Structures are given as structure tokens and as C-alpha cells.
């Protein structure tokens, strides 16, 4: 078995465009769920409208790419308002239902034959990313050391993706460490108390939803640019759940949680993928037990197990603040006496 190859695959995935996409979507979700406590199960829907807003503007309307990006962001913004405005005054469950339903409806709508004149239907569209790759400063060659290498194109997407992640993380850090962020964290604890103290909690929740939705829209665009193609089924609801997995692995309500989470997520996914494939082709695992086509689902199961172990041993994710232990509580009480 070639463990170096496994490591190379894992590292490539962990720094690659995919990890940046997931990190970006999870930074948005962190603002919504980690800080404000909003149950958004439709991050895939925000990513879809972002990706399609960009791709359709460019291909159908001949817009320049930058305009397409703005359209994509705007669509994320509008979707957040449409979902948040009616539901955020109600109990939290309503947002969860509305978002998960909206994401699925959007996907089905975008793949419908009737919508194909605008959305290209099931097979989606390519050739909207030419301007983006034309701006690639790295050229076509491979970059990296030995087998730890990315192609120039991948490196370019990854760089843009991670720069966006850095911007989103920076913005989150500034916001959550301000009085604005304090209100948001308080809302997650107990919204009624915050209202009783004179804060318009509805507005805060809407702002968090919109900002996180815009970040997800940006993530959807990076995803489309990375694969140079966009299809509705790329944005299925498992994407929303991966965003949650990333967030929970990294640490809920921690500024860098989503980044760490995305890296772990892809390390695990790529390493187990590579390892299993090698084991099967090398005959370590008999192909009667497991064939290479089973690897896809199995590696996800492994990520699931990792998630369960995290919940068990480190419930707040890798970056969790240590919860006060019973003894710590006791000393605090003793001090108080």
C-alpha cells in the first residue's frame, strides 16, 4: 500500500477548491446557526441560486462574469429575505422547514423541462467560466512538491476560494466580537429576554440569515467555477447537511470552526477514499466484500462515524471551548458564597 499516495490525496483535497467551497458555506451557516441559532437546512438552495445566478447571467444574457457574480450574490440575498421575512417571527422550526423545502423546490424547479429555456434543465450548462480561467495567473502546469500537487487551474480556483473564505471569516470575526454579535449570541440563548431588553431581534435574525445566505451563494459560485459546469443535482440537499457536518466537526460558534471543519471533512473523505480503493485494487479487501463502486458511500459513512465520535467526545467540535466541568462549577459557587 502506498501511504504517501493516500496522504497526497488527502492533502490535495483538504486545501483544494472543494474544501474552500464547504468552508465558505459553513462560515455562512456558522453565522446563522452557530451564532444566531437559526436552523437553516437549505444552504444548498442558497448555493444553487448563487451558482445559477452567475452562470445564467453569463450564458443566457451575455453578462460579464463580474456582473454574473453580483447577480448570484443578489439572488442569495433575495432568497434569504423571502425565506426569513415570513418565518423569523415564528418559532425556529418554521425556518428549518421553509429552508429545506425551498432548497428542494429550487433544485426541482431548475431541473424541470419547463424551466430549461432559462436554466438548461437537467444537464445544466458549461462554458461560463472562461473569463475566470483566462485570468488564471498560474498557467496550465502543476504546482507543488512531488505528488502533493494541484494543477494551475485548480490552484487558481482554490486561491480565490480560500481568499473568499478569509474575507468571510474576517467579516464574521469583526461582527461577532462587536455589540452586534453579542446581541446575536444572546438571541441564540433566549430570544424573548433580548426583546425584553429593547432589541429588535427579528432584524438581527434577518441580517444573519441574509449575510450567511450571501456567503453560501458565493460558495455555490466557487463550486460552479471549480467544475466549470453547473447542474441542478449538484446542489442536492446533502450539500446542506455536509455544511452542518463541517460546522459541527470544526466547532459551532467559533470563528475558525468552519475552516478547520472543512479541512478535517475533506481529509477524512479523501484519505478513506484513497485507502479503500488501494486496499481493494491491492487485494487487501476482497472485491467480493467491497468493490470500488462501494467506496463512495462507505467513505461518507466513515465521516458519519467521525461525526458521532466527535459528538461523543468533543461535542462542541474541534475548536470548542471546554465546557465548565462540574468541579469548575463548584469552585465558582464556593467563591460566590
Partner 1 sequence: MTPSSTTGREATRSSGEELILTAQGVRRSFGGLTAVDVDEFTVRKGTITALIGPNGAGKSTFFNVLTGFDRADAGTWTLDGRDVTGLPAYRLARQGMVRTFQLTRSLADLTLVENVLLAAPGQRGEGMGGALFGRRSWRRQERSNTERARELLARFGLDRMAEQPAGVLSGGQRKLLEMARALMCEPRLLLLDEPMAGVNPRLVETLLEHVRQVRAEGTTILFVEHDMDVVVDISDDVVCMAFGTVLATGTPAEVMRDPEVIDAYLGSDEADDETARLARRGHQA
User: Footprint of partner 1 on this chain (CB under 8 A)?
Assistant: 171, 174-175, 178-183, 185-186, 188-190, 192-201, 207, 324, 328-329, 332-333, 335-336
> CB-based contacts of 102: which residues, under 8 Å, 6+ apart?
42, 45, 79, 82, 83
Nearest to 103 by CA among 40, 57, 32: 40
For residue 173 the three cell numbers come to 470575526
Beta carbon nearer to partner 1, 113 or 335:
335
Q: 204 phi and psi, to 5 degrees?
A: -65, -40
Cβ count near 1 (within 10 Å):
11
d(CA 208, CA 176): 11
Which residues, in sequence order, are bridge partners of residue 149?
Answer: 144
Nearest to 267 by CA among 275, 256, 279: 275
Beta carbon nearer to partner 1, 118 or 203:
203
d(CA 46, CA 153): 25
Which residues, in sequence order, are bridge partners of residue 144?
Answer: 149
> CB-based contacts of 161: which residues, under 8 Å, 6+ apart?
17, 20, 21, 23, 24, 222, 226
Q: How far is the CB of 115 from partner 1 (least distance, A)?
A: 35
Beta carbon nearer to partner 1, 61 or 180:
180
Q: How far is the CB of 328 from partner 1 (least distance, A)?
A: 8
Q: How far is the CB of 208 from partner 1 (least distance, A)?
A: 9
Q: How far is the CB of 180 from partner 1 (least distance, A)?
A: 4
Q: How far is the CB of 160 from partner 1 (least distance, A)?
A: 23
Q: How far is the CB of 332 from partner 1 (least distance, A)?
A: 5
Q: How far is the CB of 198 from partner 1 (least distance, A)?
A: 3
Helix (H, G, I), strand (E, B) or coil at 230: strand
> CB-based contacts of 61: which residues, under 8 Å, 6+ apart?
none
Beta carbon nearer to partner 1, 3 or 173:
173
Cβ proximity of 73 and 217 under 8 Å? yes
Beta carbon nearer to partner 1, 197 or 284:
197
* Strand bridging mode 142-145 / 148-151: antiparallel
Cβ proximity of 249 and 264 under 8 Å? yes
Nearest to 262 by CA among 179, 158, 181: 158
Q: How far is the CB of 178 from partner 1 (least distance, A)?
A: 4
Beta carbon nearer to partner 1, 117 or 198:
198
Start-to-end C-alpha separation, the chain: 62
Q: How far is the CB of 37 from partner 1 (least distance, A)?
A: 10
Beta carbon nearer to partner 1, 137 or 179:
179
Beta carbon nearer to partner 1, 66 or 180:
180
Beta carbon nearer to partner 1, 19 or 208:
208
DSSP 8-state code for residue 285: S
Amino acid at each position: 500500500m502506498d501511504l504517501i499516495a493516500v496522504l497526497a490525496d488527502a492533502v490535495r483535497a483538504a486545501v483544494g477548491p472543494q474544501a474552500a467551497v464547504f468552508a465558505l458555506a459553513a462560515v455562512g451557516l456558522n453565522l446563522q446557526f452557530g451564532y444566531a441559532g437559526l436552523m437553516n437546512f437549505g444552504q444548498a438552495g442558497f448555493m444553487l441560486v448563487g451558482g445559477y445566478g452567475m452562470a445564467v447571467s453569463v450564458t443566457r444574457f451575455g453578462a460579464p462574469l463580474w456582473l454574473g457574480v453580483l447577480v448570484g450574490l443578489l439572488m442569495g440575498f433575495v432568497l434569504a429575505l423571502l425565506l426569513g421575512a415570513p418565518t423569523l417571527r415564528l418559532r425556529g422550526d418554521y425556518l428549518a422547514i421553509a429552508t429545506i423545502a425551498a432548497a428542494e423546490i429550487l433544485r426541482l424547479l431548475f431541473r424541470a423541462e419547463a424551466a430549461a429555456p432559462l436554466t438548461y434543465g437537467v444537464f445544466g450548462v458549461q462554458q461560463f467560466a472562461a473569463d475566470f480561467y483566462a485570468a488564471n495567473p498560474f498557467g496550465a502546469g502543476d504546482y507543488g512538491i512531488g505528488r502533493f500537487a494541484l494543477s494551475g487551474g485548480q490552484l487558481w480556483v482554490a486561491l480565490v476560494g480560500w481568499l473568499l473564505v478569509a474575507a468571510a471569516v474576517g467579516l464574521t470575526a469583526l461582527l461577532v466580537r462587536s455589540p452586534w454579535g453579542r446581541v446575536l449570541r444572546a438571541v441564540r440563548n433566549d430570544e424573548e429576554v433580548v426583546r425584553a431588553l429593547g432589541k429588535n431581534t427579528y432584524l438581527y435574525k434577518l441580517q444573519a440569515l441574509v449575510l450567511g445566505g450571501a456567503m453560501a451563494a458565493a460558495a455555490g459560485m466557487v463550486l460552479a467555477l471549480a467544475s466549470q459546469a453547473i447542474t441542478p443535482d449538484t446542489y442536492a440537499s446533502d450539500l446542506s447537511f455536509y455544511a452542518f457536518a463541517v460546522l459541527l466537526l470544526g466547532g459551532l460558534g467559533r470563528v475558525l470552526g468552519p475552516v478547520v471543519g472543512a479541512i478535517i471533512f475533506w481529509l477524512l473523505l479523501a484519505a478513506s477514499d484513497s485507502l479503500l480503493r488501494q486496499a481493494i485494487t491491492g487485494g487487501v479487501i476482497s472485491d467480493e466484500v467491497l468493490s470500488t463502486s462501494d467506496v463512495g458511500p462507505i467513505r461518507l459513512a466513515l465521516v458519519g462515524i467521525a461525526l458521532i465520535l466527535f459528538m461523543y467526545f468533543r461535542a462542541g467540535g474541534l475548536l470548542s471551548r471546554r465546557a465548565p466541568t462540574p468541579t469548575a462549577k463548584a469552585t465558582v459557587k464556593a467563591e460566590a458564597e
